[in-house]
Each structure stands twice: as C-alpha cells, then as structure tokens.
Amino acid sequence: MNYRPLGKTGFSVSEISFGTWAIGGAWGKTDDAESLRALDRAIELGVNFFDTADVYGDGHSERLLARATKGMEDKVWIATKFCRAGDIHDPATYSEKRVREFCEGSLRRLGRDVIDLYQIHCPPAAVLRDGAVFEVLDKLQAEGKIRHYGVSVETVEEGLICLENPNVAALQVIFNIFRQKPLERLLPEAHRRGVGILVRLPLASGLLTGKFKKDTVFPPDDHRHFNENGEHFNVGETFAGLGFRKGQELAEQLAWIAEGRGNMARAALRWILDKKEISCVIPGFKTVRQVEDNLAAADVPPFSEEEERRLAEFYREKVAPWIRGPY
C-alpha cells in the first residue's frame, strides 16, 4: 500500500481508501456480513482511511465502521459528514445547536471520542459564502470533538470558496475521466494551499468499470434508478451527470484504457492516482472481491503523456457537452 499526506492534517492515508455509501444503502441490496468481511480485508491490506456520512443508511455505515475498527481508533482514520439529515437550505441546519447534535450522533454511532475529519455534506454555495458554519466547526475542533474539518462539494466554484477558509483541511470532490474540470483550477489551488483532496465517485457510479450493458436495469432502491435525472439530489452524484444511456455509450469508447491494466476499473482509478494533487481515491464497495480488485489499481502502469492527451480530448469533445447540472 502507498500512503499520501492528507493535506495539512498530519495524517498519512492509504492512496486507495474506501467510501461506505454502498454498504450503508441506496445502491441496491446489501449484506452486512459481507460488508464487514470486506472492511476487514481492506484493513488487512493496509487501508487506514474510510469515508462515511450520517445519512448513509441512516447511520448504518457508521455503525458498520464502528464494528470493523473497534480498538483501532489510533490506526484507522474515519471521515464522516453532516447536514443532509436536515434541510440543507435552512440556516438552522448549520447552527451550533444542530451541528453539535449531528456531531454527537456520529460519535455515538462510530463509537469514538473524536471524529478525525468532519465534513459538511454538499451544502449550498450560499452557506459556504456566509461562513458561519466554519465558526461552529472551529469550536468543535477546539473542544476536541473533531480533529480536522473539510467540505464535500458538488462544484469547482464551491471548492474555491472553501479554499478561502484557512482552517479547511480537505475537500471531497467528484473527479474521474468523465469529470475532469477540477484539473483546471481547483486541484492546483488546493495543492498550493496544502488542502487534501478526497476523490469520490471515481468510477462514475460504475460506468467506468465497463461492466454495464445497454439493457442493465438497477433495482428501485438503487440511486442509479431513482436519481438518474437528479430527482432526489444533485444529478452529478449519479453517472457523473451523464445519464445511464449516454454514459454507457461513452464508457464503451474507453475500453482501450484497460489494455495492460487488467480492467477498466483499475485503469480509471490509476488515472486519478497519477495526479499529484490527490490525497486518496475513495471508491465504494460491497464485497471482498471489489475491495481486492480496487486495491490492485495501485500496481498497474500509469498513463503516458499521449494517453493523457487522448483522454483530455475525449473529455472536451465527447463528454463535457453532455454533463447535466452545475459542476
């Protein structure tokens, strides 16, 4: 396992870490026993950082992490998120009283005395511009409830707003071969300011695994079914904002990236890891096999300059015009 600094936190985190949205819920059927085996396997193979949120399965993924990491609080870092259990547009959601409630709830479910990285969970830009929530987080940090804080953002603009706050230690962004915009300004500026970058949805909701066919059908409780067009939350969180049909068509055109790299998923993760600004990539998982396969991305060949140019051109000409929603 390779490790990278997580911005100015002082943490050295596994460059391939994991997100726990899928094992919490909203990605179809889950199996807690297999989820726990997968978490154990990840830790066994050197993963020391996991991302979760209070709304993943209404706290279920936090509880699973508590079980998997019990007794390893000083060895395995956990990042969790808050605000989406309330009305994200209501200023009261970001009040000191409410944020403390969110924080205490996560601490209780995680079975920990302190949260390693506490992130605002994709709030509106207006909340970030106002900045009052950062003052609340400063208080929680001073009290030892949280070690560091950051923000999970939907757009480059939101990320740049966050970088104006010197106490923001990390940003979580959507970044993959289908979402290359952060390369232009956000990643270089975060790197310059010493802010860590966590990459979520690196496989574009599974499109970049190359496993989906035109007739693939997702179950009703999978966000790839119920949020394809942004019906419940930002459309960019599902299939990179492309929609399934267009995304699957574009993914077929990227099959070449797997050559010499085992499969498309490993290649897609490797492309992200090739960027020096990235602290870690956090793909989701449901099984031991998925954990092992994702971790194998660390050992595949990096992309050449010519391949990088080819992918940049593909993004500009074939992908960007089809992305829906702000990003």
Show the tokens assigned to 91: 């200023």
Please tell me the distance from the alpha carbon of residue 116 to that of residue 210, in angstroms, as a whole number. 34
Show the tokens assigned to 85: 């259990």
Please give the positions annotated as active site.
Answer: 56
Q: How far apart are the first and last CA of the chain?
A: 32
Q: What is the length of the chain?
A: 327
7 close to 196: Cβ distance less than 8 angstroms: yes
HSE of 237 in the Cβ direction (CA atoms, 13 Å)? 21
Place of tokens 């790197």: 191
Place of tokens 């409630």: 101
Specify the amino acid at residue 8. K
Other beta carbons within 10 Å of 13: 27
Specify the amino acid at residue 319. V
